[in-house]
Amino acid sequence: MKKILIASDHGGFHLKQFLITELKKENYTIEDLGTDNLDSCDYPDYAKKLVLELKKDTQNTLGILVCGTGIGMSMAANRDADIFAAICTNEFMASLTRKHNNANILCLGERVLGTELALNITKTFLNTEFEAGRHSKRLALFS
Ligand code: RB5
Protein backbone atom coordinates (compact mmCIF):
# COMPACT_ATOMS: atom_id res chain seq x y z
CA MET A 1 0.00 0.00 0.00
CA LYS A 2 1.44 3.37 -1.03
CA LYS A 3 2.08 6.12 1.51
CA ILE A 4 -0.31 9.07 1.13
CA LEU A 5 0.70 12.71 1.48
CA ILE A 6 -2.10 15.24 1.86
CA ALA A 7 -2.23 19.03 2.06
CA SER A 8 -4.75 21.83 1.61
CA ASP A 9 -5.23 25.54 1.95
CA HIS A 10 -8.00 27.02 4.10
CA GLY A 11 -10.51 26.43 1.27
CA GLY A 12 -9.84 22.70 1.39
CA PHE A 13 -9.22 22.28 5.11
CA HIS A 14 -12.51 20.61 6.08
CA LEU A 15 -12.36 18.11 3.22
CA LYS A 16 -8.72 17.33 4.01
CA GLN A 17 -9.61 16.57 7.63
CA PHE A 18 -12.52 14.37 6.52
CA LEU A 19 -10.34 12.41 4.08
CA ILE A 20 -7.62 11.88 6.69
CA THR A 21 -10.16 10.42 9.12
CA GLU A 22 -11.68 8.14 6.50
CA LEU A 23 -8.40 6.95 4.98
CA LYS A 24 -6.98 6.12 8.41
CA LYS A 25 -9.97 3.82 8.93
CA GLU A 26 -8.81 1.98 5.78
CA ASN A 27 -5.30 1.63 7.26
CA TYR A 28 -3.57 4.00 4.88
CA THR A 29 -0.36 5.60 6.10
CA ILE A 30 -1.17 9.27 5.64
CA GLU A 31 1.02 12.27 6.32
CA ASP A 32 -0.70 15.63 6.81
CA LEU A 33 1.41 18.51 5.51
CA GLY A 34 -1.06 21.24 6.56
CA THR A 35 -2.66 23.68 6.64
CA ASP A 36 -3.71 23.16 10.24
CA ASN A 37 -6.56 25.63 10.56
CA LEU A 38 -8.99 27.86 8.66
CA ASP A 39 -6.75 30.95 8.60
CA SER A 40 -6.35 32.31 5.10
CA CYS A 41 -3.18 30.97 3.46
CA ASP A 42 -1.62 30.53 0.02
CA TYR A 43 -2.30 27.24 -1.78
CA PRO A 44 0.97 27.31 -3.84
CA ASP A 45 2.95 27.02 -0.60
CA TYR A 46 1.19 23.77 0.26
CA ALA A 47 1.39 22.42 -3.29
CA LYS A 48 5.17 23.04 -3.30
CA LYS A 49 5.57 21.44 0.13
CA LEU A 50 3.77 18.28 -0.96
CA VAL A 51 5.61 18.09 -4.29
CA LEU A 52 9.00 18.31 -2.54
CA GLU A 53 8.01 15.50 -0.19
CA LEU A 54 6.53 13.32 -2.95
CA LYS A 55 9.67 13.64 -5.08
CA LYS A 56 11.66 11.88 -2.35
CA ASP A 57 9.95 8.58 -3.29
CA THR A 58 7.66 8.73 -6.32
CA GLN A 59 7.51 4.92 -6.56
CA ASN A 60 5.85 4.42 -3.20
CA THR A 61 3.96 7.65 -2.60
CA LEU A 62 0.81 9.35 -3.87
CA GLY A 63 -0.41 12.86 -3.04
CA ILE A 64 -3.75 14.54 -2.44
CA LEU A 65 -4.11 18.33 -2.67
CA VAL A 66 -7.33 20.09 -1.71
CA CYS A 67 -8.31 23.71 -2.25
CA GLY A 68 -11.61 25.44 -2.95
CA THR A 69 -11.87 24.28 -6.54
CA GLY A 70 -8.88 21.97 -6.97
CA ILE A 71 -7.77 24.17 -9.86
CA GLY A 72 -5.16 26.31 -8.11
CA MET A 73 -3.56 23.28 -6.48
CA SER A 74 -3.36 21.42 -9.80
CA MET A 75 -1.79 24.43 -11.53
CA ALA A 76 0.74 24.94 -8.74
CA ALA A 77 1.68 21.26 -8.50
CA ASN A 78 2.17 20.64 -12.23
CA ARG A 79 5.48 22.49 -12.48
CA ASP A 80 7.86 19.61 -12.00
CA ALA A 81 8.79 16.83 -14.45
CA ASP A 82 8.12 14.12 -11.85
CA ILE A 83 4.65 15.38 -11.05
CA PHE A 84 1.40 14.53 -12.80
CA ALA A 85 -1.35 16.22 -10.83
CA ALA A 86 -4.94 15.64 -11.93
CA ILE A 87 -8.08 17.45 -10.88
CA CYS A 88 -10.97 14.98 -10.74
CA THR A 89 -14.66 15.61 -10.24
CA ASN A 90 -15.87 12.04 -10.63
CA GLU A 91 -14.69 8.45 -10.21
CA PHE A 92 -14.30 7.87 -13.96
CA MET A 93 -11.72 10.66 -14.16
CA ALA A 94 -9.94 9.29 -11.07
CA SER A 95 -9.75 5.81 -12.58
CA LEU A 96 -8.58 6.95 -16.01
CA THR A 97 -6.01 9.41 -14.71
CA ARG A 98 -4.31 6.57 -12.85
CA LYS A 99 -4.65 4.01 -15.69
CA HIS A 100 -3.64 6.30 -18.55
CA ASN A 101 -1.84 9.35 -17.09
CA ASN A 102 -0.13 7.68 -14.11
CA ALA A 103 -1.18 10.73 -12.10
CA ASN A 104 0.61 10.84 -8.78
CA ILE A 105 -1.34 13.71 -7.22
CA LEU A 106 -5.12 13.93 -6.95
CA CYS A 107 -6.51 17.47 -6.75
CA LEU A 108 -9.93 18.02 -5.24
CA GLY A 109 -12.19 21.03 -4.73
CA GLU A 110 -13.99 21.28 -1.39
CA ARG A 111 -16.39 23.88 -2.81
CA VAL A 112 -17.16 21.64 -5.78
CA LEU A 113 -17.60 18.17 -4.30
CA GLY A 114 -19.71 16.63 -1.57
CA THR A 115 -17.72 14.68 0.98
CA GLU A 116 -18.96 11.23 -0.02
CA LEU A 117 -18.23 11.84 -3.70
CA ALA A 118 -14.79 13.20 -2.79
CA LEU A 119 -14.09 10.09 -0.73
CA ASN A 120 -15.20 7.78 -3.53
CA ILE A 121 -13.02 9.67 -6.02
CA THR A 122 -10.09 9.38 -3.61
CA LYS A 123 -10.57 5.64 -3.03
CA THR A 124 -10.80 5.05 -6.79
CA PHE A 125 -7.59 7.04 -7.36
CA LEU A 126 -5.71 5.17 -4.64
CA ASN A 127 -6.92 1.73 -5.72
CA THR A 128 -6.25 2.01 -9.45
CA GLU A 129 -2.92 1.12 -11.08
CA PHE A 130 -1.17 2.61 -14.12
CA GLU A 131 -1.64 0.44 -17.22
CA ALA A 132 1.76 1.42 -18.71
CA GLY A 133 2.15 0.05 -22.30
CA ARG A 134 1.24 2.70 -24.89
CA HIS A 135 0.58 5.20 -22.10
CA SER A 136 4.23 5.19 -20.97
CA LYS A 137 5.34 6.42 -24.38
CA ARG A 138 2.85 9.27 -24.24
CA LEU A 139 3.95 10.38 -20.79
CA ALA A 140 7.57 10.38 -21.99
CA LEU A 141 6.52 12.93 -24.62
CA PHE A 142 5.84 15.46 -21.86
CA SER A 143 9.53 16.23 -21.42
C1 RB5 B 1 -9.12 30.29 -1.75
O2 RB5 B 1 -10.09 31.25 -1.53
C3 RB5 B 1 -9.27 29.69 -3.13
O4 RB5 B 1 -8.92 30.64 -4.10
C5 RB5 B 1 -8.43 28.45 -3.28
O6 RB5 B 1 -8.80 27.53 -2.30
C7 RB5 B 1 -8.53 27.69 -4.59
O8 RB5 B 1 -9.84 27.43 -4.93
C9 RB5 B 1 -7.74 28.20 -5.70
O10 RB5 B 1 -7.72 27.65 -6.80
Give yes or no: 100 in active site.
Answer: yes
pTM of the model: 0.98
Average pLDDT across the chain, whole number = 97
CA of 72 to the centre of ligand 1 (A): 6
**Cβ(28) to ligand 1 under 6 A?**
no
Catalytic residue among 10, 14, 100, 135: 100
Contact of 102 with 84, CB cutoff 8 Å: yes
Confidence bin at 24 (pLDDT 50/70/90): very high
CATH of domain 3-140: 3.40.1400.10
Give the distance (Å) from ligand 1 centre to CA of residue 132: 33
What would the mean pLDDT of 21-44 be, rounded to a whole number?
Answer: 98
The one-letter amino acid code at 125 reads F
* Residue 110 pLDDT: 98
